[in-house]
Homo-oligomer: A and B are copies of this chain.
């Protein structure tokens, strides 16, 4: 589990006075990098020529975030399959914990040369399972 904090700024806001729905995907990516910094040996992944590739994002927008909001993104491991990994990312307002958005983000492990998906090895499984630990 990893927590990432975002302050909503003027450039995050769109025509409707709310954080734009594309911007949330940058917030989620920010949170995933922070998570990976803490849990995964990215140098080793790089040496092994493997990486993560997003294949699906399913995001529910629950409540608009507005200028000045402080957001907290909680990222947890939802499940690991034979070839795919699902993270759950929940964005809430810091303080009153009201839900802003929640997303399931599905990855595959890819060979960075061929960009083909490869099975999740036991080693990677252990590394990713530690996310919730």
User: Chain A interface (Cβ within 8 Å of chain B)?
Assistant: 7, 9-11, 13-17, 20-23, 25-26, 29-30, 33-34, 51, 53-61, 64, 67, 115
Q: Is the interface of A mostly helix, strand, loop or mixed?
A: mixed
Decide: B59 and A57 in contact? CB cutoff 8 A: yes
User: How many copies of this chain does the complex contain?
Assistant: 4
In the complex, A22 Cα to B31 Cα: how many Å?
A: 13
Please tell me which one of the listed residues B10, B26, B61, B67 contacts residue A29 in the complex, with CB atoms under 8 A apart: B10
Q: Could you list 11 A-B pairs, sorted by A, with CB under 8 Å?
A: A13-B13, A13-B15, A14-B14, A15-B67, A16-B53, A21-B25, A22-B26, A25-B25, A56-B60, A57-B57, A64-B115
A29:B57 contact, CB within 8 angstroms:
no
CB-defined contacts of A115 to chain B, threshold 8 Å? 64
A80→B13 CA distance, assembly (Å): 28
Inter-chain contacts of A22 with B (CB < 8 A): 11, 22-23, 25-26, 29
Contacts of A64 on B, CB cut-off 8 Å? Answer: 115
